[in-house]
Structure 1
Amino acid sequence: MNQITDIIVTSAMGILTILAGIVVQEVKKYLLKKGGKKAVEIAEILAINAVKATEQVADKLDIHGDEKFYYAKNAVTKGLDQYNIHLTQSQLESFIEAAVKQMNDRWKE
C-alpha cells in the first residue's frame, strides 16, 4: 500500500512540476507582451533572490513550508513595488515557484 502511495505522490509531483513550467512560460509571454522584457527580467531576478534569501534566514526565523513561501512572496512584492511593477497573485506565485524549482534542480546536481 505504501508503494502505491509513493508512486501516486511521485507521479503527481511530476505532473505539477510540468504544469508549473507551462504556467511560468505563459505568464512570461503575457508579461512580455504587456509589460516588456525588462519587467519579466526584474520579476525573475527578484524571485530568485527572495527564494535564496528566505532559505538563508529560514532557520533563524524558524519558518517552514508555506511560511517560507509567503515570506519570499512578501519580499518579491516589496521589490516589485520599488520598480512600479504590478503582478497578479497567480503570476507572482508562478515566479516564486519557478525560482524554487530552479533552486531545487541545482541542489540535486
Structure 2
Amino acid sequence: MEIFNIELINVAVTVVVALAGLVTKQAMSYLKKKGVLKQLESHKVIVDIAVNAVEQMYKKNHGEEKLNLAKMEIIKLAKAKKIKISEKELDLMIESAVKEMNKTIKEEMKK
C-alpha cells in the first residue's frame, strides 16, 4: 500500500509539472500575440536610455531630483514615440533600471 501511495504521488507531481509547463507556454504565446511583451520591451528601452542619460548628465543631483528628471525625459521620449506609460509602470521601470545599473556598477568594481 505504501509503494502504491509513493507511485501515486510521483505520477501526480509529474502531471502537475507538465501542466505548469503547458500553461506557461500558452501564457507566453498569448502575451506575444497580444503584443504585450513587445510593448514592455519598448518601454524598458526608453526607460533605460533616460535613466542612463540622467545619471550621466546630472551627476550632482541626487534622489528625488534625479527621479523627477528621469520621469520628465521618459515622458518626452514616450510622447515622441506615441507610447503610453502609466505612472505606476514608470516608477517600477525606473526602479528596475536603477537597480540593474547599480548591479552592473558593483560587478564592474569587483573586477
TM-score normalised by the shorter chain: which range applies? 0.5 to 0.7
Say what the alpha-carbon RMSD is for the aligned residues: 2.0
Unaligned runs of 5+ in 2: 1-27
- Aligned residue pairs total 77
1:1-109 matches, cutoff 5 A:
36-59=36-59, 62-109=60-107
Seen in structure 2, the aligned counterparts of structure 1 residues 102 and 71 have a Cα distance that, compared at 3 Å, is same
Which 4+ runs in 1 deviate beyond 6 A?
none
What do residues 38-85 of structure 1 show as CA deviations (whole Å, max 9, x unaligned)? 2211110111111111111113xx422110011011111111112222
Sequence identity (%):
38
Q: Which amino acid aligns with 1:86?
A: K
TM-score (norm 1): 0.62
Seen in structure 2, the aligned counterparts of structure 1 residues 55 and 95 have a Cα distance that, compared at 3 Å, is same
TM-superposed CA distance for 1:91, in Å, is 0.9
Q: Which amino acid aligns with 1:107?
A: I
Higher relative contact order (CA 8 A, sep 6+): 1
Unaligned runs of 5+ in 1: 1-28
**Alignment partners' CA distance in 2, 1:80 and 1:95:** 13
**Alignment partners' CA distance in 2, 1:39 and 1:78:** 17
Seen in structure 2, the aligned counterparts of structure 1 residues 92 and 35 have a Cα distance that, compared at 3 Å, is farther
TM-score (norm 2): 0.61
Counterpart residue number, 1:8: none
